[in-house]
């Protein structure tokens, strides 16, 4: 079954913010299903959890609101499995710096230039990005070099839609959950937000788990879910769970376990299964919705900070391969992301703690160290 990484990491991050203490996690299987992995110090693991978890701090966003409704995008569909031509497969992997924003040694690079500050992580969608900066940590979004503050507060966890059009975040204010959705094209709040969706118990928390390309937002509150769409908040997902939004659809699963799957969500907050997914700890889908990269379940839990390989394949399951880090290097957990429809980039580390970047392609499976700015 799918492991709820967002909830687990959010809980760990709260411990980090209170005293940089990570509670002991359940032990990994004695015989891991995948090649060698390295375990780092607890403090290193704390830094890693920032990639998908919220943090603390105070900030504001512009007061203006976009009165235009969110524009729908085409329903996700599983595209035919790509079959690279012999010429394309023979082309060398480019060694240029990543084309999308990335964080290396706590430095954020966007369009080849460094953004001032000390940064922990960045997540991208289309031409937009969200990133965590400083200590105490605050969250920012941007298109290009200029960072713009998001609403911050205890346990905030912003999410960006796969195409980068929308960013959503929930903060708790006076015991109430406040949802803000930003249209990154206009730089303004989407009409109807900020919106108050009611009391939030401290032992439950509330955070965004998914934002779709047409502006629907799924919020997890305790063990339940709320869905926001066009100024409407509704209870939803009885017996089902949502973990993320991808270019191919929502990553979902059943409360009782079982294989994770891809789903569409309707205006009435009903999920419809549209495809299958492998069991995994972490998963990312290419922009065209054709390729998926993942770590097998049980691979990246506990104090694991890096792993030696990633699995890749087409969503239809017709092609698959294993990406192995270059000799002497390991993939830093939860830093791999599809740069385009054919290449994946990731931070790698060595035994001395140095960081570098690699670029990989699925077929033929290969990863090379690349230049960074």
Residue 310 has pLDDT above 50, yes or no: yes
Considering only CA atoms, which of 129, 142, 156 is closest in space to residue 57?
156
- Per the structure, the complete domain to which residue 235 belongs is given by 5-369
Helices (H) and strands (E) in the chain, counts: 3, 32
What band does 40 get if pLDDT is binned at 50, 70 and 90?
A: very low
Total number of domains constituting the chain: 1
What mean pLDDT is predicted for residues 273-297?
Answer: 96
Which pTM value belongs to this model? 0.77
Q: Determine the length of the chain.
A: 373
272 contact partners, CB below 8 Å, separation of at least 6: 263, 264, 265, 266
pLDDT at 27 over 70: no
Mean pLDDT of 32-47: 35
The confidence score (pLDDT) of residue 90 equals 60
Report the pLDDT value the prediction gives residue 48, as an integer from 0 to 100: 32
Please say whether the beta carbons of 183 and 42 come within 8 A.
Answer: no
What's the pLDDT at 10? 52
277/242 Cα distance (integer angstroms): 13
CA distance 294 to 309: 10
CATH number at residue 340: 2.130.10
In whole angstroms, give the CA distance from residue 53 to residue 49.
6
pLDDT-above-70 percentage for the chain:
75
Residues 6+ apart with CB under 8 A from 66: 183, 186, 188, 189, 190, 191
Buried b / exposed e along 195-231 (16+ C-beta atoms within 10 A): bebeebeeeebbbbbbbbbbbbbbbbbeeebbbbbee
């Amino acid at each position: 079954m799918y492991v709820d990484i967002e909830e687990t990491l959010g809980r760990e991050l709260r411990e980090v913010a209170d005293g940089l203490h990570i509670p002991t996690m359940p032990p990994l299987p004695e015989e891991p299903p995948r090649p060698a992995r390295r375990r780092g110090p607890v403090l290193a693991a704390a830094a890693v959890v920032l990639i998908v978890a919220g943090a603390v701090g105070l900030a504001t966003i512009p007061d203006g609101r976009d009165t235009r409704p969110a524009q729908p995008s085409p329903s996700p569909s599983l595209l035919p499995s790509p079959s690279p031509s012999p010429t394309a497969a023979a082309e060398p992997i480019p060694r240029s710096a990543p084309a999308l924003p990335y964080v290396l040694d706590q430095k954020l690079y966007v369009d080849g230039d460094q953004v001032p500050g000390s940064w922990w992580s960045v997540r991208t969608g289309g031409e937009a990005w969200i990133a965590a900066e400083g200590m105490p940590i605050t969250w920012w979004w941007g298109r290009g070099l200029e960072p713009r503050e998001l609403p911050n507060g205890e346990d905030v966890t912003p999410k960006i839609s796969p195409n980068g059009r929308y960013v959503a975040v929930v903060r708790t204010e006076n015991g109430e959950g406040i949802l803000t959705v930003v249209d990154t094209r206009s730089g303004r709040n989407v009409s109807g937000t900020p919106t108050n969706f009611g009391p939030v118990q401290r032992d439950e928390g509330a955070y965004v788990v998914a934002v779709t390309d047409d502006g629907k937002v799924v919020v997890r509150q305790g063990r339940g879910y709320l869905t926001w769409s066009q100024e409407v908040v509704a209870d939803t997902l009885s017996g089902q769970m949502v973990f993320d939004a991808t270019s191919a659809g929502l990553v979902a699963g059943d409360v009782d376990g079982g294989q994770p799957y891809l789903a569409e969500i309707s205006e009435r907050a009903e999920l419809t299964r549209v495809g299958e997914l492998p069991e995994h700890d972490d998963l990312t889908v290419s922009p065209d919705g054709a390729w998926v990269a993942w770590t097998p379940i049980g691979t990246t839990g506990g104090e694991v900070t890096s792993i030696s390989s990633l699995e890749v394949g087409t969503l239809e399951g017709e092609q698959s391969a294993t990406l192995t880090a270059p000799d002497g290097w390991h993939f830093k957990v939860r830093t791999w992301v599809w740069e385009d429809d054919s290449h994946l980039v990731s931070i790698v580390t060595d035994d001395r703690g140095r960081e570098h970047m690699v670029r990989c392609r699925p077929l033929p499976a290969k990863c090379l160290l690349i230049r960074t700015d």
